[in-house]
Structure 1
Amino acid sequence: MPADLALVTDSTAYLPQQAIDRHKISVVPLSVVVGDEVRAEGVEITPKDVAEALRAKQRLTTSRPNPETFAAAYRAAAEGGASAVVSIHLSAELSGTADAARLAAADAPVPVLVVDSHLVGMALGYAVLAAAEARDAGLEPAAVAAVAERRASASRAFFYVDTLEHLRRGGRIGTARALLGSALAVKPLLHLSDGRIEPLEKVRTASRAIARLEEIAVEQAGAGAVDITVHHLAAEERAEPLAERLRERVPGVREVLVGEVGAVIGAHVGPGLLAVVVAPVLD
């Protein structure tokens, strides 16, 4: 493995800790603000904390890392022997994280290539893992960044939420759409499109929405080699059966992971989230 190329991502990739350790990936945390208290994702606040706070109707907001946090990560990489960094992050349409990374990159002691994945969750995580495999294969930094961009571009994320209210409060979906969904008692299916959260379909019941989410994932996966992650927030009883069905139905699946989203995404979607990430394996 080339020891002189460091990989950095942010906490919304929700990578398994084993993968972070194996590939020596540096993870910069975003923050959740509960009331007036700022807590680092994955360090000081858990998904369970967020679900409980939302059910209690506490005020929650999220914030990007400041540029100095990224600057410290890039300095640490250089001090550890890296001669370059590839820094891969969640969609700039959803957060200022990539912008903060670029500000820090301008003054970093080594060259830093910042990649906006236009994604979040393991859709971002799979792009980071593709970059790790490319680095381990000996590719140069620009080629590693290009591999991350290719896998991100090929990946899709679809999700169901019990209510659009949390997305509306966080400004991640328009008020008119959120109110329309509530008025019609619609169970919305959404997806990431060009880095933004957009409505995909409207379904009348939760059970039908989850069944449709499964069908969409199977259709998107096709017959080629893919990795799949089923994300949830406080809904493991929905996630595990869905994951098992996808293992049985997707012929080219390489792995199906089940993972709870972290505090930052949880704060915007609310308990009951069910999402499927489909990431084709690069040739």
Structure 2
Amino acid sequence: MTIKVPATSANLGPGFDTLGLALSLKNRSIIKPSRITSIQVRGEGSKNPKLCVDNIFVKIFYEHFYRLTNSKEQFRFQFENEIPISRGLGSSSAVIVGAIGSAYMIAKQPFTHSEILALALKYEPHPDNITPACVGGFTTALTQKDKVRFLKTNIPDSLRAVVVVPDHAISTAYSRLSLPKKYTQKEVIFNLSRSSMLTAAFFSHRWEALREASKDKLHQNIRMRGFPILFDVQQTAFKEGALMSTLSGSGSSFFNMCYKDDVKRLSKKLSSKFPHFKIFELSFDDRGLEKITD
């Protein structure tokens, strides 16, 4: 069986731990019966030998496969990874969602997206990345009594993402430690208004609202100060026609959305100005977790 899970960009400025969307970068996992467990990694992470010994996907997969089947069957895992690791593009969420989903598929057990997301919360307590990884599109999500409640809308083909990926990892856990423990009422209201407007803009296709609606006062600038060249990335993106430009998750990647007609110009300018960073021209993924059929 082969399954794929998309990369995600979360927070999107003001939607801290609640908003996210799915991108066309994918991790593919090929799983076959075997006498012993074996692991092969291609693409992102292939140079990290630990992933072939202490692999989180494999651990989560077996946990749920054994729970569902009461079987001790072994498998061979081949991972073909496109999602950069520890760059704020949802690599961990892709692993979690992919492992749980594939366990259900190989066990031939029915499941719903809501069931997968509820189980994923055990490993990732925030729904902003796991939700679009599971269902695709743009999502707004919350947790309620160990469940994820979400709304989703597809993203039209007239839009594209240009994602800037620095060669500089940022730990989400470490990044959170730099954030304030308290915020002013004015800051909270600022983010509530922008997050609400951003969500409305995606659902109503009012793209002209995104630039103002994607502003944030809770986390983004604080995180970017640890890697200040990201301010220049954002300024350049807006100058070249980006509809919105936000830190992707906790970083270090930067997510930029633009119209399809502007993607080449924006990508070329960012590549020229930041030659040491990877630049991805991406469409959006509206399917999420998916089994690939031959």
Same fold (TM over 0.5): no
Query: How does the TM-score come out when normalised to structure 1?
Result: 0.31
